[in-house]
Amino acid sequence: MELIKTAEEHIPLIKAIADEVWPKTFGDILSPAQIVYMMDMMYSEEAIKQQMNEWNHHYLLAKEGDDYLGYVSYETGYKGKPWTKVHKIYVLSTSQGKGVGRFLIDAVSAIAKEKGDTELSLNVNRYNKAIEFYKKVGFGIIGNEDIDIGNGFLMEDYIMNKKL
Ligand SMILES: CC(C)(COP(=O)(O)OP(=O)(O)OC[C@H]1O[C@@H](n2cnc3c(N)ncnc32)[C@H](O)[C@@H]1OP(=O)(O)O)[C@@H](O)C(=O)NCCC(=O)NCCS
């Protein structure tokens, strides 16, 4: 598997992966209205561009042959701490359970260590099956966080960290 460090030209590929995976992941967890709201706020091409250019989010794609199978976005030195925040990780439905997610977390871990960070941190919805994946790759729950994202919607998350 190949790791691609992305630029703006990759944004449509990133969005296509989110469009395929996101509604399937959250269809049983969130209302249709919240799914539309969050897709637009966090996963539109404009939102991804802003994350890359203004918010210091870096995106990596996993590629096999001609196919882009998944992506991860991260930010080192998150909020002035020696933590790398994993903002997003998504693997195409047909490629899940084949090691792509672990490959992406390993890649971010290596970059974070190089930058001198000592932990990875992320937020995950408290009802998301991905929690089991995160435990498998070395994360543990360190707290809860409910985030008001506007329009009457809440994100009900665990915070999970992994020591590097
Ligand atoms: C969560 C996700 C990124 C994991 O990536 P993946 O490529 O499917 O996971 P991997 O194949 O690398 O799995 C690594 C290990 O975790 C386990 N695992 C993965 N998903 C799991 C699940 N839902 N439940 C239990 N174990 C799981 C695998 O069995 C594997 O275990 P092993 O090392 O003992 O074989 C991916 O499934 C995904 O995109 N899910 C939907 C979107 C999502 O929820 N993203 C996270 C939002 S916070």
Q: What is the Å distance from ligand 1's center to 97 Cα?
A: 6
Find out whether the beta carbon of 108 lies less than 6 Å from any atom of ligand 1.
no
Q: Which atom number of ligand 1 is nearest to the Cα of residue 123?
A: 48
CA distance 160 to 137: 11
Whole-Å CA distances, 128 to 13, 27, 37, 39, 50: 24, 11, 18, 17, 26
Interior angle at CA 18, CA 117 and CA 134, nearest 5: 45
Q: Which of 24, 121, 133 to mutate to test the pocket of ligand 1 (most atoms within 8 A of CB)?
A: 133
- Give the pLDDT of the chain (164 residues) as one tens digit per residue: 999 999 999 999 999 999 999 989 999 999 999 999 999 999 999 999 999 999 999 999 999 999 999 999 999 999 999 999 999 999 999 999 999 999 999 999 999 999 999 999 999 999 999 999 999 999 999 999 999 999 999 999 999 999 99
Structural domains in the chain? 2-119 (3.40.630.30)
- What pTM was computed for the model? 0.96
Tokens of 104: 């992406």
Q: Is 27 in the pocket of ligand 1 (CB under 6 A)?
A: no
Q: Is 59 in the pocket of ligand 1 (CB under 6 A)?
A: no
What are the start-end ranges of the H helices in 54-126? 100-114
User: Does residue 99's CB lie within 6 angstroms of at least one atom of ligand 1?
Assistant: yes
